[in-house]
């Protein structure tokens, strides 16, 4: 047995998850095969706001193959509270009671022997409505006299938050730049739509869901359905994308689980794409007003921000995300005075929730646009006005006006790195040549700098456990829930590095309440710094115990025991060694372990990082805009992101690329739209535009590393950084391309039509 040299950490390691996924061997919830399943089709409201005068289910109930039809009258489910901060008067009846509040609200659930029969029977349910006034504009919803969604609550303003008091932060400013920035409503559009399969077995219930957070969702299902928590299993198999909308419970889960319990047979709901577009939570949906005070040379003196957020019809966490926007409202800048005020409005639209970045991108979008607008008005270079106002490294740790406790940051370092990588001066020269030539295709250069929060709002605590099995393999358990991020690879690397066990002998268990006692799931770019740290600490504790046991078995000093090939050995004496299998056997044998040592080689804990971490970075985007048609083409996108100490650079690069693509999608393509009657006009993938790889350029990504002191890995999140940094860089680039025509701002998405219209309006 030889000493194991070097560390696997910091190296590019191929993902363990990919072979089975690519071979089609992984099982998704819709692949779970069960006999006698009843299929659910929901009867959804075609109106955005209406009183229900009658529901006639007789024809549907009588149809051949129909198992049951449920309305609010014959299924006992309490109203669903979308977020615990909100008044119970805003709760949602799982099956509409009295009125509907958005197109897609559930009125009835039809369960039949096949999906086709269920669909036909759903068409046979006759619902009479009396339409009510509709409000879809979040700002108009807060005006006096606006139609109320919840009369008992008495207002459409469902949440408000503020910092900064009554003092004017712009007092004494030599220049004030004002802007209105729209972060438009987006749909998550995961490759796999939503769904649920509930399987009763006597008094036991198993629920399969494609969720980012099945362990936490279990609590909602148990509570609403009245299930015994000890007899309920909630699990997620492979999951085809989440991006935030799959982070929480859905009323559909409750209806399916309750119906399965009442019927005593499996019940399954598989969402179709058009249904997904109206029933899965949307994201973003904020209007941000900013006033930036500066000196004549561009030094920031104050910032005044007012925000309206759209919570949709039944307020969920989306109505609370202005708190995250508030947290990150200072960004990377030294802002002496800041005032922030945000209100969330209920509207007759799909409710909003977390979407990649969850309230933090909106802060960066606003800051980076207003910084560019100020640079334009003051005649300053966009990169230099940022450099002038960065919080310096020596200021950390620092608590911002928004209440964020930044751990550390090297903001100028990341800006310098991206400027060098992009050859910024060369780009400026190319742009000047295009403008001088009068070419209809103009170049735009966009700069953004950002800081974001990962593991926010108490999400810095996570469960983890590590155990050495009798055969010398390792089983680890984590409370996070992977759906494409590479958790199995990352956590296996940590354990292998600590214990010397090959990665293919390590099993990672997750996403199953029968295996995981607790867990907060995967969101907020939290997994490595929380669950990864938990696995790291648990592995270290197991190693310490194993060293004591090996010392006892080898008659050596524990300080002389090191990790060797396949087990532990006395340092420098490869022949004096014991395998992990023998150690595990001895740990469970009262005659072989020292007196007072507990049986087994295992440890579990709830790791607490004490606070969030704050990744940061800088992006530069180069676009070409055809001034005759408004068409935008991405030519280059250069990103330097700092996520602390890097565990696996290949996984980091993958997250950067995915994030940039999603950020580009918001900047250039995506928007959920409604007409004045609350009808969604982007309810399928024919009219909701998302880019393919063909519409995107190759991304140039690199990293700086500023390890966080808040966890033993030095890790910060990376899952959402690409999205947060890319959107404003691309937004700024497009406007920069046409700024010489007198255009100051264009709202996203920057489609050919919107850009062309702005050019025409500018004359």
Got the DSSP string for 530-596? IIIHHHHHHHHHHHHHHHHHHHHHHTS-GGGEEEETTEEEETTEEEEEEEHHHHHHHHT-TTTSPTT
Mean predicted lDDT score pLDDT of the chain? 97
Given this model, what pLDDT does residue 424 score? 98
Report the 10 Å Cβ neighbour count for 186. 27
Given this model, what pLDDT does residue 293 score? 98
Burial of 590 (0-12, 13-18, 19+ CB in 10 A): exposed
> Which pTM value belongs to this model?
0.97
CA 660 and chain centroid, separation: 14
The CA distance from 106 to 249, in Å, is: 15
Residue 271, both tokens: 């969402």
Class of the domain covering 282-456+611-762: alpha beta
Given this model, what pLDDT does residue 2 score? 38
The CA distance from 675 to 692, in Å, is: 27
Say which residue the tokens 């860089």 belong to: 729
Low-confidence ranges of the chain (pLDDT < 50): 1-5
The domains of the chain are located at: 18-25+461-608, 32-132+194-270, 282-456+611-762
215 three-class SS? helix
Given this model, what pLDDT does residue 300 score? 98
Residue 48, both tokens: 């955005």
Whether the bond into 749 is cis, omega within 30 of 0: yes
Domains 18-25+461-608 and 32-132+194-270 are alike in CATH topology:
no
The CA distance from 345 to 325, in Å, is: 16
Given this model, what pLDDT does residue 165 score? 84
Domain boundaries 32-132+194-270, corresponding CATH code: 3.90.1170.50
Model pLDDT for residues 549-606, shown as the tens digit of each residue: 999 999 999 999 999 999 999 999 999 999 999 999 999 999 999 999 999 999 999 9
The CA distance from 503 to 492, in Å, is: 5
The CATH T-level fold of domain 18-25+461-608 is Aldehyde Oxidoreductase; domain 4 (3.30.365)
Given this model, what pLDDT does residue 4 score? 42
Given this model, what pLDDT does residue 762 score? 94
């Amino acid at each position: 047995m030889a000493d194991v040299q070097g560390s696997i950490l910091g190296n590019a390691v191929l993902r363990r998850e990919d072979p089975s996924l690519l071979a089609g061997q992984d099982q998704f919830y819709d692949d779970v095969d069960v006999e006698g399943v009843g299929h659910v089709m929901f009867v959804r409201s075609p109106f955005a706001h209406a009183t229900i005068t009658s529901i006639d289910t007789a024809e549907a109930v009588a149809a051949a193959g129909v198992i049951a039809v449920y309305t609010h009258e014959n299924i006992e489910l309490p109203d669903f509270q979308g977020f615990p901060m909100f008044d119970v008067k805003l709760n949602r009846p799982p099956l509409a009671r009295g009125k509907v509040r958005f197109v897609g609200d559930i009125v009835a659930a039809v369960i039949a022997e096949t999906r086709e029969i269920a669909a036909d029977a759903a068409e046979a349910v006759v619902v009479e409505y009396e339409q009510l006034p509709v409000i879809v504009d979040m700002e108009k919803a807060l005006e006096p006299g606006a139609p109320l969604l919840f009369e008992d609550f008495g207002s459409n303003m469902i949440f408000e938050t503020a910092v900064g008091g009554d003092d004017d932060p712009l007092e004494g400013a030599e220049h004030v730049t004002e802007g209105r920035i729209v972060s438009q409503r987006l749909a998550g559009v995961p490759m796999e739509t939503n769904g649920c399969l509930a399987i009763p077995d006597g008094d036991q219930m198993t629920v399969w869901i494609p969720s980012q957070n099945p362990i936490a969702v279990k609590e909602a299902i148990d509570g609403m359905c009245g299930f015994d928590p000890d007899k309920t299993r909630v699990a997620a198999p492979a999951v085809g994308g989440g991006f935030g909308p799959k982070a929480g419970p859905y009323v559909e889960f409750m209806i399916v689980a309750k119906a399965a319990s009442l019927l005593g047979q499996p019940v399954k709901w598989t969402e179709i794409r058009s249904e997904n577009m109206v029933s899965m939570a949307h994201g973003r949906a904020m209007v941000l007003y900013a006033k930036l005070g500066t000196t004549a040379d561009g030094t920031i003196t104050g910032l005044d921000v007012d925000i309206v957020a759209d919570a949709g019809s039944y307020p969920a966490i989306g109505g609370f995300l202005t708190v995250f926007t508030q947290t990150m409202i200072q960004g990377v800048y030294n802002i002496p005075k800041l005032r922030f005020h945000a209100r969330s409005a209920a509207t007759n639209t799909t409710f909003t929730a977390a979407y990649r970045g969850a309230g933090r991108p909106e802060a960066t979008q606003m800051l980076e646009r207003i910084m560019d607008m100020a640079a334009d008005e003051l005649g300053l270079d966009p990169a230099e006005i940022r450099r002038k106002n960065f919080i310096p490294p020596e200021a950390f740790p620092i608590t911002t006006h928004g209440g964020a406790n930044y751990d550390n940051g090297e903001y100028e370092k990341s800006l310098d790195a991206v400027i060098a990588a992009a050859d910024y001066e060369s780009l400026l020269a190319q742009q000047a040549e295009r403008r001088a030539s009068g070419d209809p295709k103009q170049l735009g250069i966009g700069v953004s700098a950002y800081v974001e929060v990962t593991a926010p709002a108490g999400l810095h605590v996570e469960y983890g456990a590590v155990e050495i099995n009798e055969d010398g393999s390792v089983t680890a358990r984590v409370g996070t829930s992977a759906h494409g991020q590479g958790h199995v690879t990352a956590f296996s690397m940590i354990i292998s590095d600590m214990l010397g066990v090959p990665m293919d002998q390590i099993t990672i268990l997750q996403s199953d309440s029968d295996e995981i006692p607790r867990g907060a799931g995967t969101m907020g770019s939290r997994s490595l710094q929380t669950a990864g740290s938990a696995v790291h600490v648990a592995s270290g504790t197991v190693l310490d115990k194993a060293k004591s046991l090996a010392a006892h078995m080898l008659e050596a000093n524990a300080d002389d025991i090191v990790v060797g090939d396949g087990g532990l050995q006395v340092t420098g004496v490869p022949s004096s060694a014991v395998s992990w299998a023998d150690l595990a056997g001895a740990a469970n044998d009262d005659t072989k372990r020292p007196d007072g040592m507990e049986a087994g080689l295992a440890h579990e804990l709830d790791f607490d990082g004490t606070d969030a971490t704050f990744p940061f970075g800088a992006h530069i985007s180069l676009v070409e805009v055809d001034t005759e048609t408004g068409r935008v083409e991405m030519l280059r996108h250069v990103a330097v992101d700092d996520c602390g100490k890097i565990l696996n650079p290949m996984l980091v690069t993958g997250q950067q690329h995915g994030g940039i693509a999603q950020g580009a999608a918001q900047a250039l393509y995506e928007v959920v739209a409604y007409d004045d009657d609350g009808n969604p006009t982007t309810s399928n993938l024919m009219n909701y535009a998302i880019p393919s790889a063909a519409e995107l350029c190759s991304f140039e990504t690199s990293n700086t590393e500023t390890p966080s002191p808040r966890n033993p890995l030095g890790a910060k999140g990376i899952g959402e950084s690409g999205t947060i940094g890319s959107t404003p860089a691309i937004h700024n680039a497009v406007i920069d391309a046409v700024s010489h025509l007198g255009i100051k701002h264009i709202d996203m998405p920057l489609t050919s039509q919107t850009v062309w219209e702005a050019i025409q309006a500018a004359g």
